[in-house]
Structure 1
Amino acid sequence: MSAYAVGHLRNGSRHEDVLSYMERIQGTMDPFGGRFLVHGTGVEVYEGSWPGHLVIIEFPDLERARAWYESPAYQELVPLRTRHIEADIVLVPGVPAGYEAAHTAAAARRAAASAG
């Protein structure tokens, strides 16, 4: 099941370190099957607020997403970004094919009924 590295980037600058980070990040993702789905784009806000940009990187599974983030190659790059850009970075598993939110709601209702 696919997993995603999601970054909410704010208050950044196009400092030379950031450009170097951007030039080198793909090489750290390739061994783990990572690919950009969204990279640094602004968003259309329909509810709430969203200052900054969004990055989404897809990996074949959560184990490879973790392995990429924790890899020495990527960790070497992290300071190039963190010195110049505020960010929240999360790793999140995707859902299986055929997933339906209604099934999750039904399971939550059953759990609540059996607990109460």
Structure 2
Amino acid sequence: MTAYAIAHLHPAAHPCEEVLTYIERIQSTMEPFGGRFLVHGAQVEVIEGDWPGALVVIGFPSMTAARGWYESEAYRELLPLRTRNMAGDAVLVEGVGPEYDASTTAAAMRAAAAAVQA
């Protein structure tokens, strides 16, 4: 199942040398784990709420691969270059398969709610 590393970052107006080095080197840390950028540096169009900052989405072939990348020595060595200079939040999340149907999820949620009320 595909997994994603998603970050909502708050970069400075002008990136410092450490952030530029981080950006230059991150690709090589992802490649051994099958990671690739899906969103990076794109302008977001806010259609609901408030979204200060930038969005980064990296796709991996599995949650195991995503965790392996994040926990790898190569990335852990690189990570402080970003975290020292850019606030933000990051998550790893597993995607859904092609057979996913939101109505099935809603039915399970309804059943769970009904069981609590009974």
Please classify the TM superposition score into its range, dividing by the shorter chain length: over 0.9
Corresponding residue for residue 49 of structure 1 = 50
Deviation at 1:115, TM superposition (A): 2.9
Alignment deviations for residues 80-99 of structure 1 (CA, whole Å, 9 cap, x no partner)? 10111111010000011121
Alpha-carbon distance in structure 1 between the residues aligned to 2:115 and 2:85: 50
Q: Which residue of 1 aligns with 2:10?
A: 10
Q: Contact 2:6–2:55 (CA<8 Å) still a contact in 1?
A: yes
Aligned equivalents of 1:15 and 1:61: distance in 2?
32
**Matched-pair contact (CA < 8 Å) for 1:10–1:87:** yes
Q: Scaled by the length of structure 1, what TM-score is found?
A: 0.95
Match of 1:103 in 2: 104
- Counterpart residue type for residue 30 of structure 2: M
Q: Secondary structure at the match of 1:41?
A: coil
**What are the Cα deviations for residues 60-93 of structure 1, in whole angstroms up to 9, with x where unaligned?**
0111101100111000011110111111010000
Q: Which moved more, 1:87-96 or 1:105-114?
A: 105-114
Counterpart secondary structure, 1:65: helix
TM-score, normalising length: structure 2: 0.93
CA contact (8 A) 1:42 1:52 kept: no
**Where does structure 2 lack aligned partners over 5 or more consecutive residues?**
none
- Corresponding position of 2:38: 37
Deviating above 2 A after TM superposition, structure 1's stretches of 4 or more consecutive aligned residues are: none
Q: Percent identity?
A: 60
